[in-house]
Amino acid sequence: MRAAAAVTLGWVWVALNALSAIYALSKTGLGVMWFAELLVVALLASPGALLVAWGRRRPQRYEEFMQLAKQVLLPITGVMMLLTLSMVFLWVPTDANLGVSQRIFYFHVPLAIMSLLPPFLVSLSSIGYLWRRNEGWDALSLSAVEVGVLFTTLTLATGSIWARPTWGVWWRWDPMLTTFFILWLMYLGYLLLRAYAPSPDQGARYSAVLGIVGSVNSVIVYMATVWWNTQHPEKVVGPAAEAGSLDARMGVALLVAFATFALLFAYVLLERLSLRRDEAQVEVLRAQLEEAR
Amino acid sequence: MREFWVPVATIAWKDLLLELRTKEIVTSVLVFALVAVVVFYFALRPTPQTIGFVAPGVLWVAFTFAGSLVMMRTFVLEKEQGSLEGLMLCPVSRDVLYFGKLISGFLFMLVVEAAILPVFSVLFDAPLLNPALFGVLVLTTLGFASVGTLFSAISVNTRSREIMLPILFFPMVVPVLIAAVAATAIVLDGASQERLGQWLAFSGAFAAIFVTLSALLFGYTLEE
């Protein structure tokens, strides 16, 4: 009964989080962006969270499922990645205004949207951890943050590579870029906090607190930077601004790229989760070894 | 209601009394903030034309640094003297501890800021002694103290706590810092009162969200 209450509360939280993010995004006219985000969150965050809850009940079958999922996801992701690459470089027409540099959008946009997933996952699993003190929730937050660092770094890098020839600068302090940068810094703070915590248990607790506060803050950072910029009217030529004017082939390629990076995200997350389980087992074995001496 | 606020006031009063007797936190942070302002002056060399752009930023950077030091000191003192355990043994709920620490940290920061403000307006020749700025100061400082109290309770228990708090604290206060700088610039300009109200509302919302959230989560930072 309490588990059901926890799951319900978690979902309410995610819904609130998602609604506020969508509200903030819709204010900027990034319609396609938030719709895709909602879709991806529904597709990915829910199985991730359910997986942990289920893994607690049936560890044996959870283990089997994880192995199977990884084995299935890896080749599919590989094939999809090849498909995306060939579409982007061979099939899609070159953008009339932006030229060849626009092709990086097929990597940058999916990466950016996947980077928005970890805050949702982390806030959900942090609440789960503080409520139930289940190691699985903690493993999910840690894995989500680590994958988040990877995806956010790639987003910032691909964005900069595109910005240099188009805007003439590597970096601009517009709302999107600033939000991602702050998000990236908060992820690093999260990982440092775990590294410096006096014990793994305290590290898990502290980082769960940080995960909740930080996820809420990432939405507020975005709103603040949007309002800040309206004082300095500067037209943002963001990736999503182009989304309305896509050629049909461009739209298809973008969708395929979304699917590819969603699979990649899921695969890397699963891989990290099972690595975390192995780490925990090594810890147990090491403790037993110490006792045996 | 009474059972809640009396212990909160007692904990806050304990910190204030300690500070009144030792003057350890406020004096050291005050001197630090002054030094920071002087360093900024020479780093930026503002002219009468640029001072309007530079002054709000410098002021709030100094206050942010000072704020993180104040928050750190209030918890380090508890930790060093082993009185954190004593606080945890108090027969009160954890959010009472949070509000007590929040109030004392908030007041220390306000005292430092109130002392810096006249000096700053003389050094930077900026008319900062304005009643509108008082609202900005109170709301922003409350926002700082709300997350600052939570994060210093966390970082005081970690290794290399002096670096941990700023790493967690600065990204977290970016929104309210943006609001404070924008609002201060408006106060200095004297233009667009409507925008000022919006930024004040934003700071108020930030403080409200994070006071609530931190009070809920504070208990988890103080378990052994």
* DSSP-H helix ranges across B23-160: 24-44, 51-80, 83-89, 94-123, 131-155
Which of A196, A209, A227 is the closest to B217 by Cβ?
Answer: A209
Chain A CB within 8 Å of residue B53 CB: no
pLDDT band at A209 (very low <50, low <70, confident <90, very high): very high
pLDDT band at A30 (very low <50, low <70, confident <90, very high): very low
CA distance B224 to chain A (A): 8
Q: How far apart are CA B202 and CA B147, in angstroms?
A: 16
CA distance B8 to chain A (A): 22
Contact list in A for residue B172 (CB cut-off 8 A) is 186, 213-214, 217
Q: Is B29 helix (H, G, I), strand (E, B) or coil?
A: helix
Token reading at A2: 């309490």
Inter-chain touch B221–A193, beta carbons under 8 Å? no
Percent of chain B with pLDDT over 90: 21
Inter-chain touch A205–B220, beta carbons under 8 Å? yes
Which residue on chain A is closest to B185 by alpha carbon? A231
Chain A CB within 8 Å of residue B209 CB: yes
Inter-chain touch A223–B221, beta carbons under 8 Å? no
Among the ranges A90-99, A119-128, A219-228, B183-192, which has the highest mean pLDDT value? Answer: A119-128
Contact list in A for residue B213 (CB cut-off 8 A) is 212-213, 216
- Tell whether the model's pLDDT for residue B152 goes beyond 60: yes
Q: How many CB pairs under 8 A join A and B?
A: 82
What is the average pLDDT across A78-90? 87
Count CB neighbours of A200 within 10 A: 13
What is the average pLDDT across A161-179? 81
Inter-chain touch A213–B223, beta carbons under 8 Å? no
What is the average pLDDT across B74-90? 82
Q: Which of B57, B186, B210, B178 is nearest to A225 (CA)?
A: B178
Overall residue count recorded for chain A in this entry: 293
* CB neighbour list of residue B153: distance below 8 Å, 6 or more residues apart: B75, B101, B218, B221, B222
Count CB neighbours of A161 within 10 A: 15
What integer best gives the mean pLDDT of chain B? 86
- Tell whether the model's pLDDT for residue B107 goes beyond 90: yes
Contact list in B for residue A220 (CB cut-off 8 A) is 175, 206, 209
Which of B158, B176, B195 is the closest to A198 by Cβ?
Answer: B158
Inter-chain touch A206–B178, beta carbons under 8 Å? no
pLDDT band at B145 (very low <50, low <70, confident <90, very high): very high
Which of A197, A209, A227 is the closest to B158 by Cβ?
Answer: A197
Contact list in A for residue B194 (CB cut-off 8 A) is none
Half-sphere exposure of A179 toward its Cβ, with a 13 Å CA cutoff? 26
pLDDT band at A48 (very low <50, low <70, confident <90, very high): low
Q: How far apart are CA B130 and CA A33, in angstroms?
A: 43
Inter-chain touch A209–B168, beta carbons under 8 Å? no
A123, A151 Cβ separation under 8 angstroms = no
* Interfacial B residues in 133-172 facing A (CB < 8 Å): 147, 150-151, 154-155, 157-160, 164, 167-168, 171-172
- Tell whether the model's pLDDT for residue A232 goes beyond 50: no
Q: How far apart are CA A92 and CA A215, in angstroms?
A: 36
Which of B155, B198, B217 is the closest to A213 by Cβ?
Answer: B217
* DSSP-H helix ranges across chain A: 2-27, 31-57, 59-86, 105-115, 117-132, 135-167, 175-196, 200-230, 248-292
Token reading at B13: 């009063």
What is the average pLDDT across B128-146? 87
**How high is the pLDDT of residue B170?**
92
Per-residue pLDDT tens over the stretch A177-205: 888 888 899 999 999 998 888 888 888 89
B141, B62 Cβ separation under 8 angstroms = no
Count CB neighbours of B66 within 10 A: 24
**CA-to-CA dists, residue B180 to A55, A183, B137, B168, B211, angstroms:** 46, 21, 8, 19, 18
Which of A196, A198, A221 is the closest to B175 by Cβ?
Answer: A221
* Lowest-confidence segment of A32-46, A84-98, B81-95, B122-136 by average pLDDT: A32-46
pLDDT band at A265 (very low <50, low <70, confident <90, very high): confident
What is the average pLDDT across A10-21? 58
pLDDT band at A38 (very low <50, low <70, confident <90, very high): low
Overall residue count recorded for chain B in this entry: 224
* DSSP-H helix ranges across B81-130: 83-89, 94-123
What is the average pLDDT across B13-31? 87
- Tell whether the model's pLDDT for residue B106 goes beyond 90: yes
Which residue on chain B is closest to A182 by alpha carbon? B171
Token reading at B110: 């306000």
**How high is the pLDDT of residue A241?**
45
Q: ipTM above 0.90? A: no
- Tell whether the model's pLDDT for residue A233 goes beyond 60: no
